[in-house]
Amino acid sequence: MPGKYWTQEEEKKLLDMFAGGSRAEEIAETLGRRPGAVKQKMKRLGLLVVEKPRGRTTTRAILPADLFTHEQVLKILAGAMSHSHDLNLDMVEINRLNTLG
């Protein structure tokens, strides 16, 4: 069942609040609408809608300062692979290195 129609004044208020950095929930409260209805209208107007993921994400994790970069890890791996025959490694260990490379 569709909700009530948007007036030009409501659309203008939505655009103004969005331009001012208001979140959909704040706009919904001001306009007396549900947050989902505001987000849907924002999408129809072509506005960028960014939603935060629910729950914990790994992007907020604090990484140790001494963590290797991808380039450092690849250099170490390449060095280990090139010297694998010199180190008297058995075939299982050599295959593990080759799998990683």
Q: Do 63 and 56 meet the contact criterion of CB atoms below 8 Å apart?
A: no
Distance CA 76, CA 42 (A): 49
Amino acid at 35: P
Q: What is the pLDDT of residues 53-79, one digit of tens each?
A: 666 655 555 667 788 887 888 888 777
Domain ranges of the chain: 8-44, 63-100
Lookup: tokens for 13: 């208020």
Q: What is the pLDDT of residues 3-58, one digit of tens each?
A: 789 999 999 999 999 889 898 999 999 999 999 999 999 888 888 666 666 666 55
Burial (Cβ within 10 Å: 0-12, 13-18, ≥19) of residue 91:
exposed
Once rounded to an integer, what is the mean pLDDT over residues 90-98? 74
Neighbours of 99 (CB within 10 A): 7
